[in-house]
Amino acid sequence: MSNDNNKGISRRSFLRNTTLIAGGATAGMFIPGAIDKTNALDLMKHSNQPEVIITAKGRALIAKMQAEKKILLIDSMIFAHKANLGKNPTENEQLQPNDIVHNAKIQQQIRLSENAIALSTTLDSDVGPFKFNWSCLYCSEYDTIIAVTYPKLTTKTVNGPGVKGNTLIRSFILTYDDIAQITNSAVMAASPNFVAHQRLNNVENSALQAIIDQQGQDWFIKNGFMVLPFEGVYKVMAGVAYISGHRVELENNRVIDVANKPFYIYVDAYNNNGPDGLDTKFNIIASTKDLKNYVNTDGVHHYYCKLCQVMADGTVSDLRPQNTVVDKGWAEEKNHQAIESVSGLKIYPISRNLAVGDTIPEGYNGLRINDKIYRVICHGMVNDIDANATFVIVNKHKYFLQPCIEGQSFYSIDNLEHYEPLSDWGDKINYAAEICRKGGLILWIPNKTYLFNKTIELKDINVQWDGKLELCSNIVGVVLKYNVNLVGNPFIVRSRSLDHFDKTMVMLTSSAEKVNGKWKTKGCVENKISQLNILNEWIDYHELSNGKVLDSTKLTGRGLVLLAGSWTAGLTNQRSHEYVWRNFVSDVYVDGFEYPFVLEAVIDDIEPNRWVTWANGNKLHNLCARRFRQGFKVISPLLRPNGKIGGEVAGNTCASLDFQWSRYSTESFLVCEGRNNKFELMGWDAPKNATNTIKFLRGNSFPPGYGEASGNIVELYGATLRHLNGSDLSPLVYESNPGLNIFIAEGIQGRNLMPESSPPTVGSTLTNSYIPKLDNFLAFINDRPRCRVNLFKNGRIQTKVDLTPMFDFNPESAVRLAVKKGDEYKVVISLENAINHFNMVGSTLGYNNLTSGKIDIDLHDRHKKSVYSSQQTLKTANVTGFMNAANIKTIVITYSGFDRDGKLNISSIYGQTYNRNAAQGVMTADGACWMQDDIKINKAGAGVVIRDEVNGQLYRITVANGELKLAPVNK
């Protein structure tokens, strides 16, 4: 990916922050509504629905899956809004991340034929709001756009106070040879519509049925829809009717002029699934035929009712059902009953708005105010009604009003827009959150921009966050304590009006709370965050889709932080045990902050051995970051001053980290002080001269080997990090105690990678490279026959010491030895059963109270002659470097020269074998040459020796002048 704002993106597509590429062949059509199997193929022939294009990548993936006889799962339908669209989808068009407005799961998939399938999804009334003019089918397993279409500009509304959001059904028909088989599409059951359409009908079913049960199939209010002759034409009177339970209203009189008589006049009512969703439409139709209810090819139900018959002489016979022509009051009462049925509320008053002085009877939980329904439980005399419908005062008690939205328990923060006791949106949101928490309501942040200057704290609450919160003060923005479920399309931005910012935008933490007079620890647990955008408005996204940095000095502060130790953020003065655990964070995008993602646990600086803090066992997935200093930062001392666990960050799973190097400020992708965490990292576009992009550091002052950043696993992917083998890894990775973490790149695991202590070859310079693909020959030493390990202390064998931890490569375990001044420990590894060739031997240590000492590494051949000897000073990692030591029978590692009493922990002893000594004719694959997967014999006259299974004779296979020869070998 380019680092320059004016250049395109050139890497794998990601939905949240990269480019999606599309292009290809025609593939059917896009249908904005439910479809049925019978009419779908006819629609393909005659419909004027927008064209669908199968992308080039989609066709390639389909062909690949067919060749491999695998199932292709098309699981998502993505909606976007793009400016300056062409007439039809074209090849190689681009969709920028800011264009994406919604990603929906495919809810229905059916087989229309062997070569055609239909896929559908329903956008319910609680989804939105947004507009879209671009849509695609997407396979997340292979990160591939399958097909693209340009629907006409469509508005998706959402439930709001007193307003019902629209419900949209969107369907694709996809045609391709044998597409039904490869997608495992089933034949559709005998049903006229998709299940999605059935769900849509069920939304209003209770209200419709209530109306029909009470008054009949079709009925009218007084003279509504009455037809009268008027000067040779026929006038349909304005009014209200209920046709098969559907309310229709003719606002103005309508004139019908038909020459041929006799004929009937009908009202045709139908649910229209138009661009703005589902609503009831109607037509006035003149026909000589007897019309019946039907379902059209789009799956829309049409309901007919005869209004009248016009006779041959021009007279009119009123055919409206006479027993169901009712007055307005009766209709209002029945309409009131239908609303109660749908909302689940008992509403007061029935046919008018609530007024001051009314007495609300007991048993009511809904009020009619300003022609809207509000959910509230109260009874008694109404003393006051807030002009902005924020609250009512009943019996001198204030009750906040919750708008009734299709029976759902939403409370909009807009209810407090004019609530004068609170002036800042931070205070208002906190106030609304407390109302919701006590009442079991969903806090709703509508799709608007709200400026705030006070920290927002959420706990035990569901939040529908659709708007943008703009932080205007240098404070912590939003704090999630526990049991917060955050959904929607949330945005939080650092305001451009904020000149200095060094705090955190969104923080997960939880301080102690006072319960019955006592402070008790409440962990920061079970928070669920998805689709969160944390942006810096010092980046202008209007001019360029990827954003233009207006002032790079303003890219400061933290994005998302999980913190155990809330007092360090100024959120409390009460210090206590704190833990951050079992939180689930996904699909978070951070742009323009020094530290986009931080996991932190602290040690109390006042009573450092009293409180325990930890941030463990959290799941973070699909985190994206641009324009940062350190992409992911783990702050963890691991141990308290008394040596016990505290300030620990461990066991967190951080998957699909997608970080883009920035020319403005980036220093590293990952800096970690914790242990046993897992990181799946995609790092992009680090410059060739970048160093230490992944760092494991110590967060304490303990002696080396104690409280280390250890046991972490880093899987490296991406344009920059994918070729990390050999010396390529060395400039990018740094460990303060090398060898305690695991790096995986391109499917090849390099465990306990060690820096060289000597040059790889004679006369060459020290490269400081990491030794790649350590085969750890000694790890299974105890399982090899005729191999043994002995430990000697001051020349005496130590038979009661378990030496297994030296070779298990678990940084948490070690052979723990007590040391007195002048002691000498010697590890002797005897390899009697084979000739072994090494190019590296090393040891990893931990030690306490020891300030000096030395380590000798000696390698002996079968004649006990020294082949290699190295003496080094005491340090946590002692490595020989590349040395080409052949025919090794014994390895002796001696620890001595201690000037005081202390403790010595031998964490690991390891060795890497080699196979490229041409003088010895060694025969195995060479892992460091161009013949990596081959066996090579370099010594003249040497060959492969095989044994005759019958007589035991040995034969050597050699090649001379291109001729293969077989010669007996005498013992």
pLDDT in tens, 704-721: 777 889 888 888 776 455
Residue 406 has pLDDT above 60, yes or no: no
Residue 513 has pLDDT above 70, yes or no: yes
Residue closest to 449 by CA, chosen among 414, 488, 422, 483? 414
Q: Beta strand pairing status for 524-525 and 578-581?
A: parallel
Residue 742 has pLDDT above 80, yes or no: no
Banded model confidence at residue 322, pLDDT cuts 50, 70, 90: low
pLDDT in tens, 22-47: 222 334 445 444 344 334 444 333 33
The DSSP symbol for 628 reads -
Report the b/e string of 459-468 with b at 16+ CB within 10 A.
bebbbbbbbb
Angle made by CA atoms 152, 83, 537, in degrees to the nearest 5:
130
Q: What percent of the chain has pLDDT over 70?
A: 77
Residue 604 has pLDDT above 80, yes or no: yes
Residue 13: the pLDDT is 29
Residue 732: the pLDDT is 75
Residue 637: the pLDDT is 95
Distances (CA, A) of 49 to 88, 111, 193: 12, 20, 18
Is the pLDDT higher at 687 or at 650? 650
Element (H, E) at 195: helix 195-215
Is the pLDDT higher at 862 or at 19? 862
Residue 782: the pLDDT is 65
Residue matched to tokens 């200095």: 500
Task: Give me the half-sphere count of Cα atoms (radius 13 Å) on the Cβ side of residue 393.
Answer: 7
Residue 937: the pLDDT is 67
Q: What percent of the chain has pLDDT over 90?
A: 32
Q: Beta strand pairing status for 227-230 and 254-256?
A: unpaired
pLDDT in tens, 806-834: 887 666 678 999 999 999 999 999 987 66
Among 169-178, 210-219, 420-429, 472-481, the minimum mean pLDDT is found in: 210-219
Residue 950: the pLDDT is 81
Residue 720: the pLDDT is 54
Residue 636 has pLDDT above 90, yes or no: yes
DSSP 257-270: ---SSSEEEEEEEE
Among 400-409, 769-778, 889-898, 945-954, the minimum mean pLDDT is found in: 769-778
- Which residues are CB-contacts of 556 (< 8 A; sequence separation ≥ 6)? 500, 501, 502, 593, 594
Among 106-120, 203-217, 258-272, 681-695, the minimum mean pLDDT is found in: 203-217
Residue closest to 734 by CA, chosen among 686, 669, 682, 681? 669
H runs (alpha helix) in 323-481: 328-343, 425-439
Residue 323: the pLDDT is 55
CB of 373 within 8 A of CB of 339?
Answer: yes
| Tokens, residue 132 | 């879209």
pLDDT in tens, 355-400: 999 999 998 888 888 877 787 888 999 999 988 778 899 999 988 8
Residue 452: the pLDDT is 97
CB of 711 within 8 A of CB of 676?
Answer: yes
Average pLDDT over the chain reads: 79
> How many C-beta neighbours within 10 Å does residue 384 have?
12
CB of 119 within 8 A of CB of 112?
Answer: no
Residue 838, helix vs strand vs coil: strand
Residue 187: the pLDDT is 58
Residue closest to 148 by CA, chosen among 58, 81, 62? 58
Residue 729 has pLDDT above 70, yes or no: no
pLDDT in tens, 424-446: 999 999 999 988 887 778 899 99
| Tokens, residue 128 | 């939105």
Residue 27: the pLDDT is 45
| Tokens, residue 92 | 């190689």
Q: Residues 358, 363, 365, 371: what is their CA dihedral angle, to the nearest 10 degrees? A: -40
Please tell me the chain's helix, strand, coil percentages from 3-state DSSP, rounded to the nearest 5.
10, 45, 45
Residue matched to tokens 């002489």: 313
Residue 110: the pLDDT is 81
Banded model confidence at residue 404, pLDDT cuts 50, 70, 90: low
Residue 204, helix vs strand vs coil: helix
Among 405-409, 839-843, 897-901, the minimum mean pLDDT is found in: 405-409
pTM: 0.54
Report the b/e string of 257-271 with b at 16+ CB within 10 A.
eeeeeebbbbbbbbb
Residue 470 has pLDDT above 80, yes or no: yes
Residue 870: the pLDDT is 87
